[in-house]
A and B are shown apart, each in its own frame.
Chain A
């Protein structure tokens, strides 16, 4: 009866927490990795009392190379599924002029998450199974003036996940790419976003759960975003460059 554990990288985020609840509801033990993980004690108790599952907290800063590279080896149990929710939007105007700020955005959304996923992929290949879920963003589908530093790093992450899927699929390791549009989280709090395009964290959590169960490859949340992005990516560049989306 006891199920295998699910590790959430970026467990303090709203999307990470909603995903943890969805898996815990189905009886999976949960591992939450985050910075300053002690602040997640209340969330840990909540998860374990609500769903009667074991919950473990793990310290992780994806910008810390040594921690990142030693992370898989440091785990007592290798999870069945890893969901990487880590990301950092930063401030676009600051990223335009301040190289260290831009670098942090690039590293937090691409370098760190991609290197971590690579470590897990290798461990899963060695074991012979596992699922990897990377939360990227529709912002990576086409660079826009309003957030291209973040978007370009997400584009890198999306491409990385696609290549990784192509490489490990024959070895029984499944890779899911999640492309959220707008999600109502701490990241977007206070922004005025259109309700029809705005997902709740639980929508993303459910989508991730279903994608793992049904071995989907690329999921958009909400599904309408597939259409929205189809249109956006097909606007000819000579028009697109003049728009402000």
Chain B
């Protein structure tokens, strides 16, 4: 079957199976060249098997939930959307969430996702109590920070390359409502945005949208969005009536592939200018539902089609704090010069990373942007990868579709560690994605 990640680039031919139980999983994983696939929200080729792709869709049962501690035990194919639907009305919200709810627990763990609260609460690893990992030899390993610690560390952020996560126990956080108290702060350029982040360190959530085409003194102008879970006492009557903001808002969907020209330099410029002015005229502070605060793009089903049939790639890096200003300016310069305006540019301050495995986050700034997958943009992304390396940064594997093995190996220690771990456990050919083959892991 033809399969791709969220960016619809690359598209590959792979056998597909959708096992319904552990036995089926074991059989499926015994095939060479297999990788797990959740909701396919990874952008590139991380969830595409070299021979065979194991889709975890049917592995989605809740096993237990403790209403006093917020500890959920569930199968790895359960989606975050389902977690929220079931447990937010009982006063629990994910402790860490990416920018879409259409991901599986397994995908979140395998990518060790980070959310808008990374600077305070860390990545997914911080809320995982234990996981069951199935390896190709048919063993199921229950691992945690205390038990089979090595496998645990390599699985968190290991992009499915250690085996298939079958079950996980994760901790949710208590919330009083489903509303977010959002404050929007306009920033005239990147230095300004950094200053806003640095003085907002005690806000629970923070993220910025960047206008990538602004140049000169306004290079990196942005809107920084800060957020807190609103306590019940902060809700007005309208919010009170819908305390957990579970009212479903109508979704729009993108029915067909947009032609390529819909997304050129001019439309992106227009979008950004509009967004900037809209944003800065809005009341700086207001209550918004969790769904529009955390998952604005989920309101447009199939938005990945706006880039047209040939798909798109995402670039996401993190730069160490000391290099962030110089590095991000260099990246924005390169993008601005290429005129390859990106529809989505997101900036975020990250907190300390876990230094024990192969995780992506590190203390500093992370920048993420989309580009239509044209030959010139693929070159641009390669250039941005190089700039990242030059400034001591890392590339986020959940987004990557183009990095070269040599580039990755020279960039940081994750590659060597993961490769050694896989060699030692004889996983090299058995658990393999197009990405792991490309990066020679």
Residues of A whose CB lies within 8 Å of any CB of B are 42-43, 45-46, 49-51, 186, 189
Given contacts A50-B86, A51-B86, contact A43 B61 (CB under 8 A): yes
Are A45's CB and B64's CB within 8 A? yes
Contact indicator B61/A45 (Cβ below 8 Å): yes
Q: Tell me if A49 and B18 are in contact (CB < 8 A).
A: no
List 22 A-B residue pairs with CB atoms under 8 Å apart, sorted by A's residue number: A42-B61, A42-B63, A43-B61, A45-B61, A45-B62, A45-B63, A45-B64, A46-B60, A46-B61, A46-B62, A46-B63, A49-B62, A49-B63, A49-B64, A49-B65, A49-B86, A50-B62, A50-B82, A50-B86, A51-B86, A186-B20, A189-B18
Q: How many residues of B contact A (CB 8 A)?
A: 10
Q: Which residues of B contact A51 (CB under 8 A)?
A: 86
Closest to B86 in A: A50
Q: How far is the CA of A42 from the CA of B64 in the complex (A)?
A: 10
Residues of B within 8 A of A45 (CB): 61-64
Q: B16-37 vs A: 1/0 string, CB under 8 Å?
A: 0010100000000000000000
Residue-wise, chain B 75-116 has the 8 Å CB interface mask toward A (1 for contact) of 000000010001000000000000000000000000000000
| Interface SS, A side | helix
Mark interface residues in B43-76 (1 if CB within 8 Å of A CB, else 0).
0000000000000000011111100000000000
Name the residue on B nearest A51 (C-beta): B86
Distance between Cα atoms of A183 and B60 in the complex (Å): 20
The interface residues of chain A lying within 8 Å CB-to-CB of B86 are 49-51
* C-alpha spacing A124/B91, complex, angstroms: 39
Q: Which 9 pairs between the two chains have the least Cβ-Cβ distance? A: A46-B61, A49-B62, A50-B86, A46-B62, A42-B61, A50-B62, A49-B65, A49-B64, A45-B63
- Neighbouring A residues of B20 by C-beta, 8 Å: 186
Bound Cα distance A42, B23 (Å): 14
The CA of A234 and the CA of B255, in the complex, are separated in Å by 31
A43 to B63, CA, bound (A): 9
CB distance from B336 to the nearest CB of A (A): 40
For A43, list chain B residues within 8 Å (CB).
Answer: 61
* A-B contact sample (12 more), CB < 8 A, given A45-B62, A46-B63: A42-B61, A42-B63, A43-B61, A45-B63, A46-B61, A46-B62, A49-B62, A49-B63, A49-B64, A50-B62, A51-B86, A189-B18
